Amino acid sequence: MVYGAASILGDTKNGGSMTSTKQHILDAAVSIMSRKGKDATVAEIAAAAKVTDSVLYHHFKNKEDLLFYSAGEYLKTGIQELQHHLQEVNDPVSRLGRFIWFQLDYHDANPRYAYVTIFECRSKKNFFHHEGFEPFRQWTRILREIFVDGIHEGLFPKYLNTFVFRDMVLGLLDVENIMFFTSRPGEKAQTDLDGILDLLLPILAVKPQVRNDKRHRLLIAAEAMFAQKGYDKATISEISGQAGVAEGTVYEYFKNKEDLLHSVFQYRFQEHLASMDELFAVKTPLRKLKRFIQYHFSIYLNQPEFAKTFILNGIFNRRFYQTPAYADFQKYLDSLDPILEEGKRRGHFRSSIDNRIFKNLFIGAFSHMALRWLFAGQSARIDKTSEIHDVIELLARSVSVQDSG
């Protein structure tokens, strides 16, 4: 599955076959940039392609334009192959497994390409606005469509935030590759496939409805409708429809809409009171894990400048992994190990969980969600607090034995 640029690139600007010269330039660029990164010069790339600098600039605006364009063009063929593989399976669970397998295999088979896109593209904010990024958007849409299909078919939970879970999966796969590049050279990321699925598939399992009584469903539906439309505009008919019960059923549990409103408050206050024991003294491993994740994501909200700099110039910068700062970052992540091991000992977490892969999932989720927040644009309205809550719950589900406190 290793390809030369000459065999896979097409000239999207001119609508025909890409010239041999342009193909040689792209091939040389990926080869040299994968070894030298941003230190690669235009002169080196031109010489390797056996053209002059002026010929290179005839095809590309500058070195960055060349880098982004080549990354996107390479992925276009990857998308075609991915879609072919996905056509061979029908159910969303198998398609997700095939997607993850394919991306790990594609990066293992094309390490130079993976190296360039992870360390030399994602570390540059201009990449996310360049035309070369469009194939990456298409790649993410393919993944999210798998989740949407799974929800529609009743195989994945309805409450799944598909954007957050997409970031979790893609972030994990990126961090997996980063760690193999920097810490485990010579090994294949695909060796972690079973451990990855062991974390992700439990998140997608439709939980048995322990509290699937109609009253509880009505409370949850009412809470959502009151928040969305306002108390005055929300109707009993809409609430019952959201809860999946007949309109008359509402009055079997509540006197009227006002009683339903006050019952929502009571339900939540009782829930909060039940959690008071651990408010100031976190005792269970699951609560400790959630508290750690919440603390980490609060960094983005409280220290956005640091978060932006760390993601672009730390996580996606290969040199970071050879610095004392990375050693301290690793110690910080290793703080999760005692929590995970305690959870396994007490039977709260599954014993099969690979701590290393979970930490990759955790930091991958953070990095991809933060990137999306950073480059979403002014028009995008993202409820970061809600998404942080969602990712905490999803990460907790990835390790939990059903619902352990």
Is residue 284 predicted with pLDDT exceeding 60? yes
- How far is residue 6's CA from residue 29's CA, in Å, rounded to a whole number? 12
- Binned at pLDDT 50, 70 and 90, residue 133 comes out as very high
* Helix, strand, coil percentages, rounded to 5, for the chain: 75, 0, 25
Parts of the chain belonging to CATH 1.10.357.10: 5-156, 207-405
Residues 6+ apart with CB under 8 A from 222: 234, 239, 243, 260, 261, 263, 264
Say how many Å lie between the first and final Cα of the chain, rounded. 46
For residues 32 and 140, the answer to whether their CB atoms sit within 8 Å is no
- Give the range among 47-51, 124-128, 138-142 with minimum mean pLDDT: 124-128
Give 163-188 pLDDT, tens digit per residue.
999 999 999 999 999 998 887 777 78
Q: Which two tokens stand for residue 13?
A: 């600007």
Give the pLDDT band of residue 377 (cuts 50, 70, 90): low
pLDDT at 294: 92
Please check the confidence at residue 12 and state whether its pLDDT lies above 60. no
Q: Token pair of 92, please?
A: 């969303």
Rounded CA separation 392/292 (Å): 9
CATH architecture under which domain 5-156 falls: Orthogonal Bundle (1.10)
Range 377-392 average pLDDT = 84
- Cβ-based neighbour number of residue 236 at 10 Å: 18
pLDDT bin (cut points 50, 70, 90) of residue 205 is confident
Q: What is the pLDDT of residue 307?
A: 87
Alpha-helix residue ranges (DSSP H) falling in 13-109 = 20-36, 42-49, 53-59, 63-86, 92-109
Q: Is the pLDDT of residue 211 over 70?
A: no
The residue-averaged pLDDT of 212-224 equals: 87
SS3 62: coil
| CATH ID of 207-405, from 3.40.50.620, 1.10.357.10, 3.40.50.300, 1.10.800.10 | 1.10.357.10
Decide which of 153 and 33 is more confident. Answer: 153
Provide CB contacts within 8 A for 364, sequence distance 6+: 168, 170, 171, 172, 173, 174, 175, 176
User: DSSP code of 109?
Assistant: H
